[in-house]
Structure 1
């Protein structure tokens, strides 16, 4: 802990200089692109992945759709909890931003006034929480989400606003919150989502317009051939 507050291990600082040094030799347009991607783009892409997963889940069978939708609800909730956990953690460690301790860094966010503490990275925490939460809902899209979270961490170091260990800590925090609390969260969210799915008003949040939930066993799904009116059935 003391090593973090005084600038981190030498390998941490050397990796910071090596990764951030790439920005010094890269075209300015690339640096601006990485800055935008690292600050907003990857998080936006993760949100779009969650929405895409939700779109596909609505066409699954009822039981699978409910589980998937519950996981998709848990992903942003877990991300929010992870950020809340990070508030006292950052104050406890009290590690300044790298550009406030080390000269010669190419900072790609000079106008944002990053005066808060560095460990752990909020962006890495948020991105990994969304990625792992998405993995619970959909393995294929989850791998993409986790890959985006790793890219987010690399961007934060490239931008000169975080040490590598800040990013590693954020990735670990986001993963831990999602996985450790997932059993309880899913147990609480699944009944709520199931009730929403069966609601005539808001059920289409979970099921597509053309999908009809299965009726209880013993009730005919469709009338026999040639019987189309209630009077026919009664006869």
Structure 2
């Protein structure tokens, strides 16, 4: 593997060959799995994680439901903003894909002709993970783990340098965290208006959940006194 590198003392290229070299030794079926996961699967998993967090927030309800959902809405929006910011960065740096400058790489995805720095996949997943972390720490940690796995897959696939991935992580995190306060200030009133809507309020809080997170009384229903159910069962 070291003979393939010819990279001198460049740790970025050396690490690229070390990680991508794993693809040479792995079975073909495993490389195909990594190709699909790194190109589409982890992005889809991140979207599912955000939806799962939204479902958890709306079922729990509470006074902060609207602000929590606003933070969740910001997560995919942050990813979109970060990708737009990356457009001029790529055009300014103009770094070719690693397989164009270095021989012997195992390239799992063909047809990549755009510039390499920074990685869009790493940017998107980390921006969503950082936004998710602001909304919910537990789900955010899971999102960060998915983003790190995405970065590893991009190097494994031979389509990005390690610094492309690190740059994407930094860009996604910066956009998500730095713009989170103004985004929350803009989105929270909108989501509170949605919460008050009789038709769209279910997007913020599950039906029958009150603002304090307790089950709301259905009109016309009679609340049982404590212990009534136990006495009925004893009878």
TM-score by length of 1: 0.86
Structure 1 SS opposite 2:60: coil
Consecutive unaligned residues of structure 2, counting only runs of 5 or more, are: 1-6, 224-235
Match runs of 1:1-235 below 5 Å: 10-110=10-110, 113-213=111-211
Q: For residues 213 and 62 of structure 1, what CA distance do their matches in structure 2 show?
A: 5
2:130–2:176 contact (8 Å) kept in structure 1: yes
Consecutive unaligned residues of structure 1, counting only runs of 5 or more, are: 1-6, 215-219, 227-235
RMSD: 2.2
Structure 1 residue 213, shift from structure 2 partner: 4.6
1:59–1:65 contact (8 Å) kept in structure 2: no
Q: 1:156 to 1:71 in 2, by over 3 A?
A: same
Structure 1 residue 65, shift from structure 2 partner: 1.1
| Matched residue count | 213
Q: For residues 36 and 218 of structure 2, what CA distance do their matches in structure 1 show?
A: 53
Q: For residues 92 and 9 of structure 1, what CA distance do their matches in structure 2 show?
A: 25
1:198–1:213 contact (8 Å) kept in structure 2: no
Q: Which runs of 4+ in 1 moved over 6 A?
A: 220-223
Q: For residues 9 and 188 of structure 1, what CA distance do their matches in structure 2 show?
A: 48
1:79–1:126 contact (8 Å) kept in structure 2: yes
TM-score by length of 2: 0.86
| Deviation per residue, 1:183-218 (Å, 9 max, x gap) | 10001111110010010011111110222457xxxx
Q: 1:129 to 1:212 in 2, by over 3 A?
A: same
